[in-house]
């Protein structure tokens, strides 16, 4: 269902953008951060996160650059662009409103 998929994708995108809020990270670090922060409660495959990373980069929300990892490996680092920051803020607001609405409905006994 398209709406479900859109919702899921939108959520993924927001997670990825959020992961980069505190500075550039490579893809592995982004996936690790999401798994750890969510305490692995979101069963998201790493491949899907990479898809989100690339999509966001193509839309100009992220900039990508090759660099060296902590273990001196060649790694592709992503960082938020100004546009990406604005996008993240907008999505957080929408998400909060959405979550509250759903919560209100669900908690009405």
Partner 1 sequence: MLPAGVRRLFRLPTSPKRVAREVDDELRFHLDEKTEALVRTGWEPAAARAEAERQFGDVRRARETLVRLGTALAERRTRAEWWEGALADLKTALRGMMRSPGVTATVVVMLGLGIGGAAAMYGLLDRLLLRVGPGIEAPGELRRLYINSYNRLEGIRASTPWLDAEQIVGLQKAWGLPVASAASWTAGLGGPAGERIPIAMVSGSYFAVLGARPARGRRLATVDDQAGAAPAAVISYGLWRRAFAGDRSALGRTLIVDSLHLTIVGVAAPGFSGLSPDRVDAWVPMQVAGPALIGNGLNWNQSLAGFDAVVRLTGASRPEQLSSEAWGVYRSHRTAGELILTSDIGGPGDSAISAQLAPVNPGARPGALSDTVRLSLIVGGLALMLCLIAVANATNLLLLRAVRRRRETAVRLALGVSRGRLVRLGLIESMIVALGGAGAAMLFATWSGVVLQKLIVRQEWQRGIVDARVLAVATVIGLLIGVVTGLVPGWQASRPEAIAALKSGARSEGAPSRLRSGLVALQAALTLLLLVGSALYLRSFLHARDVDFVVAADHLVSVDLERAAGRPDARGVSTDVVQQIAADVRRVPGVAAIARATIAPIYGMGGSPLRIEGVASFAVGMHGPFYSEVDSAFFGVAGLPLRRGRGFTQADVSAAAPVAIVNDAFAQRFWPGQNAIGKCLYIAWSGAADASACRQVVGVVSHYRLRVDDDEPSLSYYVPLGDRWNDGTRALVVRTSAPAQDVEGGIARVVRARLPDAAPEAVMALSDITSSELDPWRSGTTLFALFAGLAVILATGGLYAVVAFSVAQRRREMAIRVAIGAPAKELARLVLRMALRPVTLGLLIGLGLALWLVRFIAPLLFHTTARDPVALGAAVAALFVAAGLACIGPAASAIGADPREALQAE
Contact residues toward partner 1 (CB under 8 A) are: 26-28, 31-32, 45-48, 50-51, 54-55, 57-58, 60, 63-66, 69, 71, 73-76
Closest contact distance (angstroms) between CB of 42 and partner 1 is 12
Least distance (Å) from partner 1 to the CB of residue 41?
A: 14
Choose between 66 and 107: whose C-beta lies nearer to partner 1. 66
For the chain, what is the HEC assignment? CHHHHHHHHHHHHHHHHHHCCCCCEEHHHHHHHHHHHCCCCCCCCHHHHHHHHHHHHHCCCEEEEEEECCCCCEEEEEEECHHHHHHHHHHHHHHHHHHHHHHHHHHCC
- Shortest distance, CB of residue 83 to partner 1, whole angstroms? 11
Distance from C-alpha of 41 to C-alpha of 35, rounded to nearest angstrom: 8
Residue number with CB closer to partner 1 (46 or 95) = 46
Q: Which is nearer to partner 1, 57 or 91 (CB)?
A: 57
In the bound state with partner 1, the residue whose beta carbon lies nearer, of 76 and 91, is: 76
């Amino acid at each position: 269902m398209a709406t479900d998929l859109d919702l899921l994708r939108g959520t993924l995108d927001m997670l990825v953008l959020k992961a980069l809020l505190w500075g550039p990270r490579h893809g592995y670090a982004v996936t690790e951060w999401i798994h750890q922060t969510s305490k692995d409660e979101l069963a998201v495959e790493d491949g899907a996160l990479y898809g989100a990373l690339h999509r966001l980069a193509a839309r100009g929300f992220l900039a990508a650059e090759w660099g060296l990892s902590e273990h001196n490996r060649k790694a592709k680092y992503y960082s938020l662009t100004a546009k990406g920051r604005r996008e993240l803020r907008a999505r957080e607001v929408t998400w909060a409103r959405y979550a509250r609405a759903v919560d209100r409905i669900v908690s009405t006994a």
